[in-house]
Amino acid sequence: HECAKVRHACKGHAQCRVPLAGYLCRQQQHPMKFFIDTASLAQIKEAQDLGVLDGVTTNPSLMAKEGISGHDRVMKHYVDICNIVDGDVSAEVIATDYAGMIKEGEDLAALHPNIVVKVPMTRDGVKAIKYFTGKGIKTNCTLVFSAGQALLAAKAGATYVSPFVGRLDDVSTDGVQLIEQIRVIYDNYGYGTEILAASIRHPMHIIQCAEVGADVATCPLSAITALFDHPLTTIGLEKFLADHKKAATAVKA
Ligand code: E4P
């Protein structure tokens, strides 16, 4: 059958078998991925130790925040990150012209098989993404703030598109709604580009992005760790342990 409101044939996803009015077919073949949005090796290690980390995103501001500058130090830092996490690691080009992006992107991609070349959403950027796609180099189209930009990134074959949820919220525009809109567009045509919800600020952003079907959320460590906590979990565990102790004391007596 055809899923409600989508043009491609349903591939038999469990949720699509009963097409409801307004229901949208989900094309994801994988569970939601968590990336950490930092260049801090300590934070990357901490997130990796939690056992739920799938990758890393960096940007020039995050690299500068860690005091990483100079070509060789920057390149070594990306390799250090790749050695901690077994997953995609986005490394952003600094060049803004096509030729410069190609040179930088090829150098970055040669560092490690997990490097994803992060390219800004510009005319030259989209052309560069198309070039990298043809060469089998993974890309992340960054600084995306509209559905039209996301469509262009998908047409160029980007591996990931990064809509900036938090920065849109900052200017009174619903960032999660953009994720939802891109999901609909990509599912309409079966684009394989993964929606990487970026500029995540807090745990509710992660949950909302999961609800609307983002493939990936790249988050500060604090937003990921906040997902663990609930006061009823803490209280419940304390009670279980206290009851266990009481029972053990009673048996001894
Ligand atoms: C990720 O790839 C982006 O560069 C990042 O999420 C931007 O986040 P910010 O808006 O908190 O700087």
The predicted-structure confidence for 184-211, as pLDDT tens digits, reads as follows: 999 999 999 999 999 999 999 999 999 9
**What residues have CB less than 8 Å from 181, skipping those under 6 apart?**
147
Question: Ligand 1: distance of its center to the CA of 230 in Å?
Answer: 27
Residues, the chain, total?
253
* Residue 181 predicted with pLDDT over 90: yes
Indicate whether residue 57 lines ligand 1 (CB < 6 A): yes
Q: What is the CB neighbour count within 10 angstroms for residue 76?
A: 13
Please tell me what DSSP assigns to residue 112: -
Question: Ligand 1: distance of its center to the CA of 242 in Å?
Answer: 43
CB–CB of 116/90 below 8 Å?
A: yes
Question: Ligand 1: distance of its center to the CA of 104 in Å?
Answer: 21
User: How far does CA 232 lie from the centroid of its chain?
Assistant: 29
Amino acid, single-letter form, for residue 46: E
How far apart, in whole angstroms, are the C-alpha atoms of residue 36 and residue 56?
A: 5
45 a catalytic residue: no
How far apart, in whole angstroms, are the C-alpha atoms of residue 114 and residue 1?
A: 37
Question: Ligand 1: distance of its center to the CA of 106 in Å?
Answer: 23
C-alpha distances in Å from residue 253, one per residue of 41, 245, 246, 249, 250: 52, 12, 11, 6, 5
> Which residue's alpha carbon is nearest to atom 4 within ligand 1?
59
CA angle (151 as vertex; 143, 91 as ends), nearest 5: 35
**Residue-level pLDDT at 9:** 47
* pLDDT (mean) for 52-65: 98
Question: Ligand 1: distance of its center to the CA of 219 in Å?
Answer: 8
Ligand 1 atom nearest 90 alpha carbon = 2
> Which residue's alpha carbon is nearest to atom 7 within ligand 1?
199
Amino acid, single-letter form, for residue 57: T
Ligand 1 atom nearest 162 alpha carbon = 2
As a whole-number percent, the residues of the chain with pLDDT over 70 amount to 89
Q: Is the whole-model pTM more than 0.85? A: yes
Cα–Cα nearest to 35, from 101, 72, 87 = 87
Indicate whether residue 38 lines ligand 1 (CB < 6 A): no
b/e burial code for range 15-52 (CB count within 10 A of at least 16 → b):
ebeebeeeebbbbbeeeebbbbbbbbeebbebbbeeee
CB–CB of 77/89 below 8 Å?
A: no
**Residue-level pLDDT at 7:** 45
Indicate whether residue 149 lines ligand 1 (CB < 6 A): no
* Residue 116 predicted with pLDDT over 60: yes
Indicate whether residue 159 lines ligand 1 (CB < 6 A): no
C-alpha distances in Å from residue 251, one per residue of 238, 239, 242, 244, 245: 20, 18, 14, 11, 10
How far apart, in whole angstroms, are the C-alpha atoms of residue 40 and residue 21?
A: 46
* Residue 37 predicted with pLDDT over 90: yes
Pocket test for ligand 1, best of 89, 142, 202, 218 (most atoms within 8 A of CB): 218
> Which residue's alpha carbon is nearest to atom 11 within ligand 1?
199
